[in-house]
Structure 1
Amino acid sequence: MGREEVLAWVESPLQLVGAAEWAAAHRVTIPVAGRLTPQISATADELLSRGAQFGELEPYLGIPWSLLARHRHWLVGDGFSGQFRLAASVLRPGRITFLDDGAHAVAYADTLLGRRPYARPNIAERGLTTIVAPFAAELVHRRAAARRAGMFTAFDLGADRLDALADHGFGIRRHDFSWTRRSAPASPELGRRVVLGSALPVDGRMLLLDYVRWVRDAAADGAVYLPHRRETAEQLDAVSTVPGLRIHQSGLPVELVLAGARGPLDVHTLPSSTTTTLPLVLEGTGATVHTGRARRSARTGAA
């Protein structure tokens, strides 16, 4: 596999970590096209300092058409992305590997199997995004039929999905963040209890008042709080009123912040992809990941 054939196209810090894991697993240096955001820039710098096998890093806005056209194998961070659907329909890459975009990995596997519509979960799609979806799906299935499409994931898709995906020609490879653990420096001193920030209030799926109550309960007797990358200033201001809570701003995915833990942590989180990723990242440390409950919002009717 020539290194010039592969391009990682990522839109979030977790997708970038997945690209680093893919490069390590395949022992190849890869160029990266990363969406131009402060979080991705900070994550890329940190991964490079840890020895990630990244070649050229190209920030972009929109679709990096010229980069995509020069590489026939795409490592795609977000298969639900409307930009991916459009670019794939036009440029028709020769091989596609889907990286994790949080817990959407399971929903995307079901999409590949035709068990659910080609649409991002809980989003009402419209316009060009929906028009190009059938063309992108047709391309992906053509590549799968030729054994040139698959997933590189930390998520357990289940035996039924794995068998069905194999029957459709998709190659699935699991990873457990082994490179992330192996390359991590010692974590900063955070104390025993860690509370992970959530974007549920930002997304309108939890009232801010309920969220602060959950943080207060999770942070009993003191804790360090790691904000979510999409938290607003209003949410952080509200969280900062919780007694005994110390906010630790790193600008990095929690997987990178906590990978170097040398002792057991009590990590508290609301339902998110971290309930899958952190037990893998913290394997062997004696850490415990506690998943709290998002109270049902009377205003939105969503958990």
Structure 2
Amino acid sequence: MTHHAADTALDALAWVESPLQLLTAAEWAHRHRQRTGRSTAVVYRILDPQVVATAEALHRMAAPFVRFEPYLGIPWARLTTSRHWAIGDAFSGQFRAAAAVLPRPRRVTIVDDGAMVVHAMLALAGEVAYARPDQFESRSKTLLGGLVADRLRGLAHDGRVELFTSFPGADAPASRAGITVVRDEFTWLREAARREQLPAVRLPHPRIALGSARVIDALLPAERYLRWVRELAEDAPLSYLPHRRETPALLDAVGALPGVTVVRTGLPIELVLASAREPLELHTLASSAATTLRLVLAGTGSVIRETAPSALSAPRSRGVA
């Protein structure tokens, strides 16, 4: 390896599979450049249209990546030549395959993709299985998971694993695993908002319902979900921001509800709402978005109201509280 190649290998490679992972990787790359002077390239999965749209938006916003590279499958060559990986999904089957086969990187940063990062930290602390909860895994995937967990624990023992997260619940298990925790406060995104570099999205109403994947994941019946949205709209008109995995049929049903306007942005809600200047009233089922949006909307006077899915089991009482 030439001196130039060796020097380049010390720069970071972010490998992301979801819109929030991509946005979080941009936040981390901004901090990484400020603290070390090192650059970050990003490889992003092109099978998800919202990932592609997010990458295009971040490119127009001059996000702190030296390169944007779309990929299919595993970016073997790029991983081989990078000694610092910033990964978005520690449980990904593709990440497990790459981490089990390729030479161990010198450093790994985990950029979170929601509350699942808490479970990932518990797994690396050896307190739960290295697998997504409530999902069946093949024997080969389980074996790969064990191998990769051991590799990550070895790096953590040497002080070479970092967690970049906005979820405080991950702090304690990460500490028990020997992983350094750095707080993600969406600093770069808020700066971009102040420079007015964000995509222009018009919301017809400042009262917003955030879409959920619970119906798609068979965790909540569609009729209960639609009732939740309908009852919100009975109080005042709603802008509805869909979850990226909601089906067209479900969105059509939501859009047919009186007082509801579905706003299809094709972008993560953190990116859509960061440009807010006036207070917003957000309604969401309990989700990781409530955590990230509290940071993104800090200082705007916005209010986020979470509803526990269990509260949707019976019709809402309209009596006086």
TM-score range for the pair, normalised by the shorter chain length: over 0.9
Alignment of 1:1-303 (within 5 A): 4=9, 5-27=11-33, 28-36=38-46, 37-91=48-102, 92-157=104-169, 160-161=172-173, 163-165=175-177, 168=178, 170-184=179-193, 185=196, 188-190=201-203, 191-220=205-234, 221-295=236-310
Question: TM-score, with normalisation over the residues of structure 2?
Answer: 0.87
Report how far residue 41 of structure 1 moved.
Answer: 1.1
Q: Which amino acid aligns with 1:176?
A: E
Aligned partner of residue 74 in structure 1, secondary structure: strand
Distance 1:68 1:182 in 2: 30
Question: Could you give the per-residue CA deviations for residues 214-235 of structure 1, whole angstroms, max 9, x where no partner exists?
Answer: 1112233211011110010111
TM score, norm. by length of structure 1:
0.92
CA positional deviation for 1:46: 0.9
* 1:113-162 CA distance string (max 9 Å, x none): 11111011221212421121111011101111111112111110366435
Residue type of the partner of 1:218?
A: L
Q: 1:285 to 1:250 in 2, by over 3 A?
A: same
- The code of the aligned residue for 2:249 comes to E
In structure 2, how many angstroms separate the alpha carbons of the residues matched to 1:225 and 1:150? Answer: 35
Q: Secondary structure at the match of 1:225?
A: strand
Tell me if the contact between 1:195 and 1:219 (Cα under 8 Å) persists in the aligned partners. no
| Mean Cα deviation higher: 123-132 or 68-77 | 123-132
Point out where structure 1 has 5 or more consecutive residues left out of the alignment: 299-303
Identity across aligned pairs (percent)? Answer: 45
Bigger mean CA deviation after superposition, 35-44 or 14-23: 35-44
Aligned residues: 295
Give the residue type in structure 2 aligned to 1:202. Answer: I
**Structure 1: distance between partners of 2:133 and 2:150:** 20
Q: 1:98 to 1:268 in 2, by over 3 A?
A: same
Moved more, 105-114 or 253-262: 105-114
**Contact 1:207/1:297 (<8 A) preserved:** no
Shift of 1:197: 0.6
**Could you tell me whether the CA contact under 8 Å between 1:193 and 1:219 is conserved in 2?**
no
Separation in structure 1 between the aligned mates of residue 129 and residue 114 of structure 2, nearest angstrom = 18
Task: Pick the structure with greater CA Rg.
Answer: 2
- SS of corresponding position for 1:157: helix
- The CA distance in 1 between the partners of 2:7 and 2:167, in whole Å, is 28
Greater Cα offset, 239-248 or 47-56? 47-56
Partner of 2:318: none
Task: Classify the secondary structure of the residue corresponding to 2:131.
Answer: coil
Aligned-partner SS, 1:231: coil
1:218 and 1:274 map into 2 onto residues whose CA distance is 18
Runs of 5+ unmatched residues, structure 2: 1-5, 314-321
The one-letter code sitting in structure 2 at the alignment partner of 1:55 is V
Letter of the 1:152 counterpart: F
Q: What CA distance in whole angstroms lies between the structure 2 residues aligned with 1:263 and 1:292?
A: 23
The more displaced of 258-267 and 104-113 is 104-113
The separation in 1 between residues aligned to 2:8 and 2:294, in whole angstroms, is 32
Say whether the 8 Å CA contact 2:175–2:181 is kept in structure 1: no
Q: Which deviates more, 52-61 or 256-265?
A: 52-61
Residues 232/158 of structure 1: CA separation in 2 closer, same or farther (3 Å cut): closer
Distance 1:20 1:123 in 2: 29
Matches of 1:227 and 1:22, distance apart in 2: 26
Partner Cα separation in structure 1 for residue 41 and residue 170 of structure 2: 31
The one-letter amino acid of 1:174's match is R
